[in-house]
Amino acid sequence: MSKSIADLRREYSLQRLNKTEAHPNPFEQFTLWFDQAVATKLPEPNAMTLATATPDGKPSARMVLLKGYDQRGFVFYTNYKSHKGQQLLANPWGAIAFWWTQLERQVRIEGQIEQVSPEESDAYFHSRPQDSQLGAWASEQSQVIDSREVLEQRLQQLKKEYENKTIPRPPHWGGFRLIPVAIEFWQGRPSRLHDRLLYQRTEEGSWMIQRLSP
């Protein structure tokens, strides 16, 4: 290795995040930052790390794509029989994190998980490209398979089966919504004295904002 990992660093100095300038509603603040990430043409601005845990506390994390959000929470889709799906059904709490390198920003969100309605899952499923719809049927996500050829053969079979037909949503595939109880906005600053604003939901349903030490 030409350079020590310990020597890899950059100074953050693009912007700042003040409590007085932040929107009192974290969803509105997220929209502001997300729109800026899209406008900057970052690759996959909706990519996020999803952390889950088994009922006995064993964690795991992976990248997924945000597919919608509103005042209720943040939505993503998956196979309910996958590792993450099974963990979320057994232990319905999770965390997601966005990292927008070029903007020197991070957003962390923690909360409870619920399945979205069948109608919401149907609507999103049928908005996907046909090959993606068939892929949801072809893949037994997270299960051991002998080879890639198994997947490709299954996909070809499904293409013939559903040629010129509407593809139904698999019953084992659909959406989850993370209902946030805490949302943290992180803006990189010089000398590692980063700006961190934490929004926490109160028992009354409003949001309290606090500045955290970096």
User: What value does the mean pLDDT of the chain take?
Assistant: 96
Per-residue pLDDT tens digits for 23-66: 999 999 999 999 999 999 999 999 999 999 999 999 999 999 99
Cβ neighbours of 84 (radius 10 Å): 22
Q: How confident is the model at residue 1 (pLDDT cuts 50, 70, 90)?
A: low
Please tell me the pTM assigned to this model. 0.93
Question: Residues spanned by CATH 2.30.110.10 within the chain?
Answer: 14-125+171-212
Predicted pLDDT of residue 9: 83
The correct answer on CATH 2.30.110.10 for the domain covering 14-125+171-212 is yes
Predicted pLDDT of residue 7: 86
Cβ neighbours of 151 (radius 10 Å): 14
Told to judge if 192 belongs to the known catalytic residues of this protein, a careful annotator would answer yes
Q: Per-residue DSSP letters for 2-60? A: -S-GGG------S----TTTS-SSHHHHHHHHHHHHHHTT-SSTTEEEEEEE-TT--EE
For residue 125, give Cα distances in angstroms to 67, 115, 132, 134, 152.
Answer: 11, 14, 9, 10, 21
CA distance 39 to 32: 11
Per-residue pLDDT tens digits for 184-201: 999 999 999 999 999 999
Predicted pLDDT of residue 10: 85
CB 53 within 8 A of CB 60: yes
Paired with 79 in beta bridges are 173
Per-residue pLDDT tens digits for 132-175: 999 999 998 888 888 999 999 999 999 999 999 999 999 999 99
Question: Which contiguous run of DSSP H or E holds residue 62?
Answer: strand 59-65
- From the list 79, 89, 61, the residue with the least C-alpha distance to 140 is 79
- The catalytic residue among 16, 62, 192, 211 is 192
E strands along 82-213, which residues?
93-100, 105-115, 173-187, 195-201, 207-212
Per-residue pLDDT tens digits for 83-110: 999 999 999 999 999 999 999 999 999 9
